Structure 1
Amino acid sequence: MKLWALSDLHVGHRRNRELLVHLSPKPDDWLIVGGDIGETGDHMQWAFDLLQPRFARLLWVPGNHELWTSEERGVRLGGADKLAALGELCRARGVVGVDDEWPVWPGDGGPHTIALLALLYDYGFAPPGLDRAGAIAWAAEDGVVAADESRLDPAPFPDIAAWSAARVSTAAARLERSQAHPTVLVNHWPLRDDLIFIPRVPRYRPWCGTLATHDWHRRYGARVVVSGHLHTRRTDWIDGVRFEECSLGYPREQRSGMLADAYLRQILPEPTVLHHAPR
């Protein structure tokens, strides 16, 4: 029995769908789907239809793409309302969503509480001293304009930073109550700014997380921290904790000839082959 992770499926791209249909069944294993399945409920339904028969259990956290405003069965949904609707979609399918009771991993290396998080970002990963407007302007100097600025509605919060702060506060309170086991922390956005590795678009940093979670791997007893968003698959070690970036990414970012199974990241038990040296 193994726990796997894969994020940034972006199934709106035909090539990604064609790749994912060849993912091998692992009927005894669990899969964390780490956000950015796509932009709509239909994209999530397609992915769940594909993945549920192949894994014993699916766990999901949202990325920014799922939270983009979209038409869902004739209703325009964005912000917290869309997150709630996607949570209901997960419950109807038996998928564990971000605001459900966190599951405990019972397999090898367990028990571990799998903390499913949706912490967003607050522009704090931009250079020090920049507010939101300054961060956006700094990124634009290098030609970086985030689609979130026009497609991600923070309602009912006044802005994304306020929504992020509320999610961080709620998650911290849940984690304080969940001290019975070590944790696997799962969040679409990386929890630390020193994990940002995006050489293609280095000034995309403002939309990549919040400094509020910099020490969560120590504070909340993490054995592994799982994230996506950056589309740069890698393993890092900080303070003896393994950090896994597990993106599939866009077709142009994928390695030619690489099979779907190779994109899965083994989370538990700890794999025998790791991709980067500890630091």
Structure 2
Amino acid sequence: MDPLIATVSDVPSPDATQSPSSAAPPEPARLWAISDLHLSYKGNREELEKLEPRPNDGLIICGDVGETVEHLRQCFTTAKACFKQLWWVPGNHELFTMPSSNGRRGEDKYMECVEVAREYGVLTPEDDFVVWKGDGGPCVIAPIFTLYDYSFRPDHVTLENALEWASEENILATDEHLLHNDPYASRVEWCNTLIERAQTKLAEAVMQNLGTRLVIINHWPLREDLVNIPLVPRFVIWCGTKQTEDWHNTYNAKVVVSGHLHVRRTDWKDDTRFEEVSLGYPKQWRECQERGMDINDLLREILPGPDPPPPGQPATLWRRYGKGTTDTPAIFLKGAKP
């Protein structure tokens, strides 16, 4: 028998002067998030194994775990051992079909990822939303999947010319080769279908939970004005859709969680906090490691989370080194060809 498993008769009698209620109460459950783990990189896989147990807490995994179901399994196995509940939304990398795999494509690839998540009890955009009752709650946790429609572009650039406009600066996302839109005619059509589904589900969540705010989770930013990538500004066309710009107000969001940009930041818009929670490629967070930080320092607390800044203070907090600094933004290059 495990020596830690004792029968009642084996347990020493408590001190008669000690009140049973004097035991320390459990820590309130907190909700954390991280994205863009990119487990195709050995350094990131090794870092994932350093994840520390938070058995009372929840973790949002906000897309771009990797390109294969094996990456998902490694992530879910490790994270599930550390957290009570996991949520996952797809990024563009999960949707890739690698040339050597001859695997599932488009929507089928997405559903394959959902099937893997369900094996581990991980909640996805295809599952019912649940109410978080831990610290910072109650909140409805709302994972969604929207993709992008190339509408994050200047007004003078047409949809038909969007790729040409990006290529003028030698920018071409890997998505154009590896992210297939089967069975839809285009990624725009797939995005529009996903937008309709998400709108319906979010609206129902608001109506069924009147007065309870939402935590909306999506790999791609909901707002174009939160995309800050000066080194590759024309990569913006692969970063979301203008159709979601006011969803934080429409659907009573307390927090919106996203990744994709590899630029950690916190923004306050109206009455909503926006969190970009990327880890990124190893070279992009090497400075954090050099400062003695690891993956646990780069988890972002979503609930209860920080208070909004006082009036007159900046509404954007750059988090290059995790917790939040006033440093200039780290400019990261994601999925683009120089």
Shorter-chain TM-score tier: over 0.9
Shift of 1:70: 4.1
Which residue identity does 1:57 align to in structure 2?
Q
Shift of 1:255: 3.7
CA distance in 1, matches of 2:126, 2:99: 22
Task: Name the TM-score, length of structure 1 as normaliser.
Answer: 0.95
Residues 81-230 of structure 1 mapped to structure 2, 5 A cutoff: 81-179=108-206, 180=209, 181-230=212-261
Shift of 1:45: 0.5
Shift of 1:137: 1.1
CA distance in 1, matches of 2:115, 2:133: 25
1:261 — aligned with what? 296
CA distance in 1, matches of 2:279, 2:128: 27
Residues 178-237 of structure 1, C-alpha deviations (whole Å, 9 max, x = no match): 111210010000000000011232110000000000000000000000000000000011
2:88 — aligned with what? 60
Shift of 1:127: 1.4
CA distance in 1, matches of 2:222, 2:308: 24
Please identify the structure whose Cα radius of gyration is greater: 2
1:42 — aligned with what? 70
Which residue identity does 1:69 align to in structure 2?
T
1:244 — aligned with what? 275
Indicate if the aligned counterparts of 1:127 and 1:135 stay in contact, CA closer than 8 A.
no
Task: Provide closer, same or farther for how the CA distance between residues 251 and 200 of structure 1 changes in structure 2, counting only shifts above 3 A.
Answer: farther
Matched residue of 1:178: which SS?
helix
Matched residue of 1:136: which SS?
helix
CA distance in 2, matches of 1:273, 1:184: 16
Deviates further, 40-49 or 254-263:
254-263
CA distance in 2, matches of 1:70, 1:203: 25
Structure showing the higher strand proportion among its residues:
1
Figure out how many residues of one structure are paired with residues of the other and give that number: 277
Residues 14-25 of structure 1 mapped to structure 2, 5 A cutoff: 14-25=42-53
Indicate if the aligned counterparts of 2:222 and 2:240 stay in contact, CA closer than 8 A.
yes
Matched residue of 1:164: which SS?
helix
Matched residue of 2:237: which SS?
helix
Shift of 1:273: 9.1
Name which structure has the greater RCO, CA cutoff 8 Å, separation 6+.
Answer: 1
Deviates further, 132-141 or 118-127:
132-141
Residues 34-61 of structure 1, C-alpha deviations (whole Å, 9 max, x = no match): 0000001011001111111000011000
2:334 — aligned with what? none
2:324 — aligned with what? none
Indicate if the aligned counterparts of 2:222 and 2:241 stay in contact, CA closer than 8 A.
yes
Which residue identity does 2:143 align to in structure 1?
L
CA distance in 2, matches of 1:78, 1:167: 16
Shift of 1:75: 6.1
Give 5+ residue unaligned stretches, structure 1. none
CA distance in 1, matches of 2:238, 2:49: 30
User: Alpha carbon RMSD of aligned pairs, Å?
Assistant: 1.8
CA distance in 2, matches of 1:18, 1:132: 41
1:51 — aligned with what? 79
Which residue identity does 2:179 align to in structure 1?
L
Identity of aligned residues (%): 45
Give 5+ residue unaligned stretches, structure 2. 1-28, 317-338
Structure 1 segments of 4 or more deviating over 6 A? none
Matched residue of 2:81: which SS?
helix
Task: Provide closer, same or farther for how the CA distance between residues 151 and 131 of structure 1 changes in structure 2, counting only shifts above 3 A.
Answer: farther
Shift of 1:113: 0.8
Which residue identity does 1:92 align to in structure 2?
E
Indicate if the aligned counterparts of 1:237 and 1:277 stay in contact, CA closer than 8 A.
no
